[in-house]
Amino acid sequence: MNDVNELARTLFDGLPPRYDRLAEVLSLGQNGRWRRAMVDAVVATCPASVLDVATGPAGVALQLADRTGARVTGLDLTPQMLRAAAANVASSPHAGRISLVAGRAEDLPFRDATFDALTFTYLLRYVADPAATLAELARVVKPGGAVASLEFHVPAGPLWHPLWVLYTRLLLPAAGFVTGGREWSEVGRFLGPSISGHWRRYPLPWQVSAWQHAGIADVRWRLMSAGGGVVIWGRKV
């Protein structure tokens, strides 16, 4: 496990019961709408099998099972997240179609061309080599299969960008402390600079190019909620 993986594991170890709530706080209540937009790209292809990478407490995996007839595999690095995911899956009507696996996105425990589609959410900020990770994700998707992702983004413009910086640097850590204590406050302090740094290093044109070099064609993207999130999707060649 590399240092970036360990950072992600340490950061989120104590948060599984509240992870979805944290995503809603950071996205100002837009996370659910963003997820639906990502899943739309997969639903349209009618897959029989889907891999959801960085599944967390299985929110996306459950939506995939609810909106498709696919067998869904959720993969996550963090044991605590997988325990929360297992509880959520067990209490859902889709327990028979969702399986959970521990693993790293950079080294997936599956053969080439295993899945009809793949999703990943809030992942690439937590890997050391995003381009290599994209190639590994594409490796396990069948030709013609859909690949779709959701990530936090940095709004642009003279109004939204300063407001986003204010919210992520000051209000989010404070709100995190009030609603979830020290762990949430630490995550709140980390997320804003992490998101900004990621997009400075890997801007959207770079991301689209990396998807294409990974063997994904027809790459499209959609900024969500004034640029606070971005959904990217394409088709495995």
Query: Would residue 24 count as lying in a domain?
Result: yes
Is residue 171 included in any domain, yes or no?
A: no
- Whether 166 is covered by a domain: the verdict is no
The pTM assigned to this predicted structure is 0.88
Q: What is the pLDDT of residue 94?
A: 96
Q: Answer whether 74's CB lies under 8 Å from 87's CB.
A: no
Residues 8-63: tens digit of each pLDDT = 556 655 555 556 666 666 666 678 899 999 999 999 999 999 999 999 999 999 99
Is 108 a member of any domain?
Answer: yes
Can you tell me which residue has the tokens 């889709």?
94
Q: How many domains in the chain?
A: 1
Structural domain of residue 224, as residue ranges? Answer: 3-154+203-236
Confirm whether 211 is domain-assigned: yes
User: CA-to-CA distance for 189 and 10, rounded, in angstroms?
Assistant: 15
- Tokens representing residue 224 in the block: 């969500």
Q: What's the confidence (pLDDT) of residue 31? A: 80
Question: By C-alpha distance, which of 22, 31, 54, 57 is closest to 186?
Answer: 22
Distance between CA atoms of residues 111 and 159, nearest Å: 47
Average pLDDT over residues 108-113: 98
User: What's the CATH number where 132 sits?
Assistant: 3.40.50.150
Q: Is residue 229 part of a domain?
A: yes
Is 159 within a domain? no
Answer whether residue 137 shows pLDDT above 70.
yes
Check whether 131 has a pLDDT greater than 70: yes
Rounded to 5 degrees, what are φ and ψ at 18?
-120, 10
Phi, psi at 8, each rounded to 5°: -60, -45
Locate 123 and state its tokens. 């992942």
Please compute the mean of the pLDDT values over residues 104-131 and round it to a whole number.
96
Q: Residue 50: how many CA atoms within 13 Å on its side-chain side?
A: 33
Q: Establish if 193 belongs to a structural domain.
A: no
